[in-house]
Amino acid sequence: SSNDRVFNFAAGPATLPESVLKKAESELINWRGSGMSVMEMSHRGKDFTSIIQKAESDLRSLLDIPSDYAVLFLQGGATTQFAAIPLNLCKPDDTVDYVVTGSWGDKAFKEAQKYCKPKVIWSGKADKYTKIPAFEDLEQSPNAKYLHICANETIHGVEFKNYPNPKNLLVADMSSNFCSKPVDISKFGIIYAGAQKNVGPSGVTIVIIRKDLIGGAQDITPVMLDYKIHHENNSLYNTPPCYGIYMCGLVFEDLLQQGGLKEVEKKNKKKADILYEAIDQSNGFYRCPVERSVRSLMNVPFTLEKAELEGEFIKEAAKEKMVQLKGHRSVGGMRASIYNAMPLAGVEKLVAFMKDFQARHA
Ligand code: PLP
Nearest CA to ligand 1 atom 14: 77
pLDDT tens track for 304-334 = 999 999 999 999 999 999 999 999 988 889 9
Q: Is the CB of 105 within 6 Å of ligand 1? A: no
Q: What is the pLDDT of residue 100?
A: 98
Whole-number average pLDDT of the chain? 97
Positive/negative CA dihedral, 57, 63, 68, 74: negative
Residue 7: pLDDT over 80: yes
- Among protein residues, the one with the nearest Cα to ligand 1's atom 9 is 78
Is 305:297 a contact under the CB 8 Å cutoff? no
H or E element that contains 60:
helix 46-63
pLDDT in tens, 31-54: 999 999 999 999 999 999 999 999
Q: Sorting pLDDT into bands at 50, 70 and 90, what band is 9?
A: very high
Q: What percent of the chain has pLDDT over 70?
A: 100
Contact between 215 and 228 (Cβ < 8 Å): yes
Mean pLDDT of the 76-95 span: 98
Nearest Cα neighbor of 51 from 77, 79, 78, 23 is 23
In sequence order, the 6+-apart residues with CB closer than 8 A to the CB of 232 are none
Ligand 1 centroid to residue 357 C-alpha, Å = 32
Helix (H, G, I), strand (E, B) or coil at 295: strand
Q: Would the CB of 79 count as within 6 Å of ligand 1? A: yes
Residue of 79, 100, 103, 248 to test ligand 1 pocket, by largest number of atoms within 8 Å of CB: 79
Residue 52's nearest CA partner among 237, 228, 247 is: 247
Say if residue 283's pLDDT is above 90. yes
The residue type at 150: C
Measured in whole angstroms, how far is the alpha carbon of residue 324 from the centre of its chain? 17
Strand partners, 104: none
Distances (CA, A) of 191 to 205, 207, 319: 11, 6, 39
Q: What is the pTM of this model?
A: 0.98
d(CA 259, CA 233): 32
> Residue 2 above 80 pLDDT?
no
- Residues with catalytic roles: 104, 173, 197
Instruction: Give φ, ψ of 332 to 5 degrees.
Output: 70, -165
Would you give the DSSP letter of residue 326? B
Task: Tell me: pLDDT of 1 over 80.
Answer: no
> Ligand 1 mean position to 140 CA, how many Å?
25
**What is d(CA 198, CA 14) in angstroms, rounded to the nearest whole number?**
7
Instruction: Tell me the HSE value of 156 on the side-chain side, using a 13 A CA sphere.
Output: 27
Distance 234 CA to ligand 1 centre (A): 24
Question: Ligand 1 atom closest to Cα of 196?
Answer: 15
pLDDT given at position 137 = 87
Q: Which are the contacts of 240, defined by CB distance < 8 A and separation ≥ 6?
A: 43, 52, 73, 74, 75
| DSSP class of 12 | S
Whole-number Å distance between alpha carbons of 170 and 96: 11
Confidence of residue 78 (pLDDT cuts 50, 70, 90): very high
Where are the alpha helices (H) located in 221-283, listed in sequence order?
227-232, 242-257, 261-280
- Expressed in angstroms and rounded, the spacing between residue 194 Cα and the centre of ligand 1 is 6
Structure confidence by residue, pLDDT tens digits, 177-227: 999 999 999 999 999 999 999 999 999 999 999 999 999 999 999 999 999
Q: How many CB atoms lie within 10 A of CB 306?
A: 12
Q: Is the CB of 133 under 6 A from ligand 1?
A: no
The pLDDT-based confidence of 353 (bands split at 50, 70, 90) is: very high
Residue 92 pLDDT exceeds 90: yes
